[in-house]
Amino acid sequence: MTRTIAFLAYPGFQILDVTGPLAAFEIAGRYARHPYDIRVIAPQPGPVASSSGACLMAQGLMDPAGLDTLVVAGGDGVNAASAAPALLDYARAVAGHARRITSVCSGTFLLAAAGLLDGRRVTTHWYRTASFARRFPRVRLEPDRIFIRDGAYWTSAGITAGIDLALALVAEDLGEAIARRTARQLVIPYRRQGGQSQFSTLLEMQGTTSRFGDLLAWVRDNLALRLTVDELAAQAAMSPRNFARAFTADQGLTPAKAVEQLRLEVARDLVEEGPASLDRIAIETGFGDTERMRRAFIRAFGAPPQAIRRTA
């Protein structure tokens, strides 16, 4: 069965929002021996200039009845695109026929402007979340997710998250084995789950000037240890009192809170990614037991690990 995947481009689109996911579909179809029918479409056929100035050749807007999946690219030109009546009408028409409606990065704005996302859970690029929330208060924005599925609608964060989204779509169409082979061919990790954060706690803490970067990397690699202030101070070759004061001034949070944030990030990834038991995850990430981990999850994420695993 051949599925038609159409990428909607417009002047000022982000080129990687198209070419990254497009490559994933191309490779997956090759492995499955049932290639996707991949199209790039635009309001006017011909070359479409991306935000970088590089162009992609596009055909005109195709018959919505022939589409399996629409992928709306993001980019600097999305504000103009999401105010174009012809594009909004086209998105609504496709929604009445296609099996899936998806967006990469700020492409979410066009779908929201068409009224297709009201009441739905969505995400978009972190840089655009404040603007999105103001413009579309009826949409349930989850600002730090990599991608989200709500029924037939899939939305994703910036650029490389579009590849994660494409791999999830491939897995739904062709199975996990094909999606894994595709990721391997793309030389990317297989695969970040949609519920993961757009941000790395460790990278944010390390920053560019933190004096505790090496210590934080060591903490993340040793979460199963107790990691008391005395132990952290010893690792940093400082007295406990001086360490606690200097760390808090550098990071804006206490050592204990920093350790908990790192534990939560790793634990959430493990909960979402695989079959490991919650008991094992709690021990490996230093929570010690599932009840302590459950309370930390509810404080941080508003849901226990079991609910987050079901959602993932």
With 0-12 / 13-18 / 19 or more C-beta atoms within 10 angstroms meaning exposed / middle / buried, residue 82 is buried
> Using CA atoms, how far apart are residues 114 and 92, in angstroms rounded to an integer?
7
Strands 121-122 and 100-103: unpaired
Pick the catalytic residue from 105, 216, 262, 296. 105
Pair 287, 263: CB distance under 8 Å: yes
Catalytic (active site) residue 55? no
Q: What is the CA radius of gyration of the chain?
A: 22
- Longest CA–CA span in the chain (Å) reads 70
Q: Using alpha carbons, list the distances in angstroms from residue 295 to 274, 279, 304.
A: 21, 14, 7
Within the chain, strands assigned E span: 4-8, 37-41, 46-49, 55-58, 69-72, 100-103, 121-122, 140-141, 147-150, 153-156
> Using CA atoms, how far apart are residues 27 and 115, in angstroms rounded to an integer?
33
> Using CA atoms, how far apart are residues 222 and 202, in angstroms rounded to an integer?
13
Within 75-162, strands assigned E span: 100-103, 121-122, 140-141, 147-150, 153-156
- Catalytic residue numbers read 105
